[in-house]
Amino acid sequence: MKTGSNDRKNTQRRILTIPNLMSFFRLCLIPVFIWLYCVEKNALATGIVLIVSGLTDMMDGYVARHFNMVSDLGKMLDPVADKLTQVSMLFCLFTRFPLMGVPIVLMFLKEIFMGITGILVIRKTGSVFGADWHGKVSTCLLYAMMILHIFWTDIPGKVSDVLIGLCTAMMCVSLFLYGSHHIRVLTGKDKDR
């Protein structure tokens, strides 16, 4: 039992893992798609880079879980890479679609709240919790909405507004569910996790 426990701790402390390298790769793609969208005005290349980024996001979680490469660094690096990618692309799209400001503001508020409560949860439990289903759905919707806005250069205003509204609504649901979970953990009402 002790050996298994030590192996798990060593795995969690790993830094140079394939999933962590994929998260770092996603961070490196951020200035690339900003340049492609804002300077080169190349929607096709921007969309391809964002899709590659999204695919590596899905792959790193799969690789981490199925090949025993889950690490504490990865649990922190993965969402940081996600959020920086998302907010950077939203700011790029904001230059053409002002309503993108709504999910940007919501994302900042969510991350401030989640960051503060997340640190308190880590201090209380010693654990870093991974993403739940609603966070994954929110991320998928956000990527789909951004990619549609990139490739569909003459997207009708009403369609754009509906897509942004759907994403914003799912982000609110995810914030509520994550926030409820963190508060339950902090108040000692959630003993399962």
Domains along the chain with CATH numbers: 2-186 (1.20.120.1760)
First to last CA, the chain: 21
**Cα(139)–Cα(146) distance, rounded to whole angstroms?**
11
Note the pTM of the prediction, 2 decimals. Answer: 0.82
Task: Give the tens place of pLDDT for each residue, 121-175.
Answer: 878 887 766 668 888 899 889 999 999 999 999 999 999 999 999 999 999 999 9
Q: Are 37 and 43 in contact (CB under 8 A)?
A: yes
Task: Give the tens place of pLDDT for each residue, 81-112.
Answer: 988 999 999 999 999 999 999 999 999 998 89
**Cα(61)–Cα(63) distance, rounded to whole angstroms?**
6
